[in-house]
Amino acid sequence: MTVTGIITAIVIGAIIGALGRLVVPGRQGIPIWLTIVIGIVAALIGTAIAGALGVASTRGVDWIELLIQIALAAVGVIAAAGLYGRRGVR
């Protein structure tokens, strides 16, 4: 992966994390930096899954890849909110 690819993954990942957080209903008690990290990881894994399915490189906007990434980010936000929330309650 090139430097441009890494920077793009960070920027797109931050957006994907925010979209994933918006998809999840209710309030999530996790910090924004964790949402961004979840988004970056979801973007990278979503790209790999889209590549394996053969939908990573299409003409125009890769809507299927984007939906996979947002779904992964939403699952990640739900998991992190559950784990992070339990950590504070004892």
pLDDT, tens digit, 9 for 90 and up, residues 19-37 = 888 888 777 788 888 888 8
Token reading at 40: 């970056």
Chain-centroid distance, C-alpha 3? 20
**What average pLDDT does the segment 56-83 reach?**
84
Q: Tokens 């980010």 belong to which residue?
A: 73
Whole-structure pTM value? 0.77
Residue-wise pLDDT tens digits, 4-14: 767 777 788 88
Share in percent of the chain as helix, strand, coil (round to 5): 75, 0, 25
pLDDT band at 90 (very low <50, low <70, confident <90, very high): very low
